[in-house]
C-alpha cells in the first residue's frame, strides 16, 4: 500500500504532467494496474481492466488507403512499430507475428497485422509494402508524417527516436518501442505484448482475451 501511494505521488502525477515521463511510466503503470493473462513466464500480454479508447489519428497504409480509428474497428489488430532499415529486431518480430497469424488462422477471429513505420523518411509506401508482405501477404504497412505518427504513438506511450551514428553506414538508426499493441474490434487499445515475444504465448494469450471479449 505504502508502495502504491509512493508510486502515485512520485511517478503517476508527474507522469501525467510530463509527457516524456509518461512514456516510460506507461508500461510500468500498466504492469502495476493490470492483470497478466498468461500463466507462463515470461509473460506476453498485459491486458487493461477496461479497453482504452484511441484518440483520433490518421495515417496511410502501403496501398494508399486511409488507416485511422475507423480502420481499427470491426476486427482485432496487432500493431508493431518498426522500420525497414532494422535488420535484427524488426524482421524477428515480423516473423513472430507471421507465426501468430498462422496459429490463429483457424481461430474464427478476424485479425489484422500491421507494421507502423517509425522511419517515415526512408520507408516509402512501396518499401513498406515490400517489407511487410515478405513476411505475410496479408500484412499491412502504415506510414504518415511524423506529427501524424505521433498522434498515435504518444497516446500509446510509444517511443521512437532517430539516432545519428556517424560510424554507421546506414546513416542513422531508430530506437523504438519493441512491444506489440493489440486493438479489439471496438477499435479500443486492449492489451500490449512486451518483448521477449514468442508466438506461442502471444497466440495463447490472444485466444483467452478473444474468448473473454465475446
Cell digits for 48?
487493461
Q: Give yes or no for a contact between 75 and 206, defined as CB atoms under 8 angstroms apart.
A: no
Task: Decide if residue 168 touches another protein (CB under 8 A).
Answer: yes
| Cis peptide upstream of residue 138 (ω within 30 degrees of 0) | no
Q: Which of 102, 110, 146, 186 binds another protein (CB under 8 A)?
A: 102
Instruction: Name the one range near another protein by CB under 8 A: 32-40, 51-59, 62-70, 171-179.
Output: 171-179
Q: Which of 99, 117, 143, 153 binds another protein (CB under 8 A)?
A: 99
Task: Decide if residue 163 touches another protein (CB under 8 A).
Answer: yes
16-45: contacts with another protein (CB under 8 A)? 24, 27
Chain centroid to Cα 10, Å, comes to: 27
Neighbours of 77 (CB within 10 A): 23
- CA 32, 37, 42, 48 torsion: positive or negative? negative
Q: Are strands 35-36 and 45-52 parallel, antiparallel or unpaired?
A: antiparallel
Task: Decide if residue 47 touches another protein (CB under 8 A).
Answer: no
Give the contact letters, 173-212, x = binds to another protein (CB under 8 A), - = no.
Answer: x-xxxxx--------------xxx-xxx------------
**CB contact set of 18 (below 8 Å; sequence gap of 6+):** none
Residue ranges in contact with another protein by CB under 8 A? 24, 27, 84-89, 91-92, 95-96, 98-99, 102-103, 127, 130-131, 134-135, 159, 163, 165-170, 173, 175-179, 194-196, 198-200
Amino acid at each position: 500500500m505504502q508502495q502504491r501511494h509512493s508510486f502515485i505521488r512520485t511517478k503517476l502525477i508527474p507522469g501525467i504532467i510530463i509527457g516524456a515521463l509518461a512514456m516510460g511510466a506507461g508500461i510500468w503503470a500498466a504492469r502495476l494496474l493490470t492483470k497478466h493473462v498468461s500463466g507462463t513466464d515470461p509473460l506476453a500480454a498485459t491486458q487493461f481492466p477496461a479497453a482504452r479508447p484511441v484518440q483520433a489519428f490518421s495515417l496511410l497504409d502501403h496501398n494508399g488507403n486511409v488507416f485511422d480509428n475507423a480502420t481499427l474497428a470491426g476486427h482485432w489488430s496487432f500493431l508493431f512499430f518498426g522500420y525497414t532499415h532494422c535488420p535484427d529486431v524488426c524482421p524477428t518480430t515480423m516473423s513472430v507475428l507471421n507465426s501468430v497469424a498462422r496459429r490463429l488462422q483457424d481461430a474464427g477471429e478476424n485479425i489484422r497485422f500491421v507494421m507502423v513505420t517509425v522511419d517515415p523518411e526512408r520507408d516509402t509506401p512501396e518499401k513498406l509494402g515490400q517489407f511487410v508482405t515478405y513476411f505475410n501477404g496479408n500484412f499491412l504497412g502504415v506510414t504518415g508524417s511524423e506529427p501524424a505518427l505521433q498522434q498515435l504513438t504518444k497516446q500509446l506511450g510509444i517511443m521512437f527516436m532517430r539516432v545519428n551514428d556517424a560510424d554507421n553506414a546506414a546513416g542513422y538508426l531508430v530506437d523504438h518501442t519493441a512491444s506489440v499493441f493489440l486493438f479489439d474490434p471496438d477499435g479500443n487499445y486492449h492489451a500490449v505484448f512486451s518483448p521477449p515475444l514468442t508466438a506461442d504465448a502471444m497466440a495463447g494469450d490472444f485466444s483467452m482475451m478473444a474468448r473473454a471479449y465475446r
